[in-house]
Amino acid sequence: MTAWQNDEASFFVEVAKLFIEFDCNEDDSIDRRELRHFLTSLFEMFHIKSPINDDYVDYVFRKIDSNNDNSINLVEMQQFAKIFNNRLVDQAQKALDKLKSESQDDQQ
Applying CB under 5 A, the residues found at the interface with Ca ion are 23, 25, 27, 65, 67, 69
In whole angstroms, how close is the CB of 36 to Ca ion at the nearest point? 12
Length of the chain: 108
Q: Closer to Ca ion at the Cβ: 17 or 98?
A: 17
Q: Closer to Ca ion at the Cβ: 4 or 73?
A: 73
What is the C-alpha separation between 3 and 51, in angstroms, rounded? 28
Q: Closer to Ca ion at the Cβ: 72 or 85?
A: 72
In whole angstroms, how close is the CB of 46 to Ca ion at the nearest point? 23
In whole angstroms, how close is the CB of 67 to Ca ion at the nearest point? 5
